[in-house]
């Protein structure tokens, strides 16, 4: 069993914001793998499909970013998904726009969605793909920045990062994560 979670905020208002990059990856995986996101439960929307003998779950928490753990923990408990089979995709201010970084575990690094996951899972030992959105420009607050849209000149980099993150997530279905890290870390 594998659970791939993309972090973001529900609603059209947040659709193309920096904070919703995790949702973009889940949308792409949904389309590519033919996993319909048609189940509304666990404070989110999810889909499930068997691929090569493996049950694959895709989840978009609808709790809003800062409460992501309230969606992830219940689905893991209900389907008895072990922590080592969780992969979380989210935005990261500490990476340049479009850069991706795969990690096997780590701290929240100031990310409230990850803080919520760590609190609800009682562990920071879960796999993640961080997608760089860069730091806010001088004078702009972090909340305003992560809820802003990408600039025109950043769109190609973000599209590339979403593509790579989706490809890495898909590869993880039947490849050890360490190998996926070695291939996709830039």
| Sheet with 127-132: strands ordered across | 39-41, 44-51, 54-61, 2-6, 86-92, 127-132, 100-103
Single out the catalytic residue among 19, 60, 73, 128.
19
**Which is nearest to 86 in space by CA: 2, 175, 176, 174?**
2
19 is catalytic: yes
Angstrom CA distances, 114 to 85, 121, 126, 128, 165, stand at: 16, 10, 10, 10, 17
**112 annotated to bind ligand:** yes
**66 annotated to bind ligand:** yes
**Which is nearest to 120 in space by CA: 64, 86, 69, 80?**
69
The 3-state DSSP class for residue 162 equals: helix
Instruction: Report strand pairing: 54-61 vs 127-132.
Output: unpaired
Task: Indicate the annotated binding residues.
Answer: 14, 64, 66, 112
Residues marked as catalytic: 19
User: Binding site for tRNA: what residues are annotated?
Assistant: 14, 64, 66, 112
């Amino acid at each position: 069993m594998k659970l791939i979670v993309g972090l973001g905020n529900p609603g059209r208002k947040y659709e193309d914001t920096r904070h919703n990059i995790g949702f973009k990856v889940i949308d792409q995986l949904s389309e590519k793998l033919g996993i319909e996101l048609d189940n509304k439960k666990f404070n989110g929307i999810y889909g499930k499909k068997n691929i090569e003998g493996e049950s694959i779950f895709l989840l978009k928490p609808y709790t809003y970013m800062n409460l992501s753990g309230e969606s992830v923990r219940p689905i893991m408990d209900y389907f008895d998904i072990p922590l080592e089979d969780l992969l979380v995709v989210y935005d990261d201010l500490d990476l340049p726009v479009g850069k991706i970084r795969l990690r096997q575990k780590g701290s929240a690094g100031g990310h409230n969605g990850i803080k919520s996951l760590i609190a609800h899972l009682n562990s920071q030992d879960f796999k993640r793909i961080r997608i760089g959105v860069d730091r806010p420009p001088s004078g702009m607050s972090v909340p305003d920045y992560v809820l802003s849209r990408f600039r025109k000149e950043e769109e190609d980099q973000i599209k590339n990062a979403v593509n790579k993150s989706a490809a890495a997530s898909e590869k993880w279905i039947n490849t050890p994560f360490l190998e996926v890290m070695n291939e996709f870390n830039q």
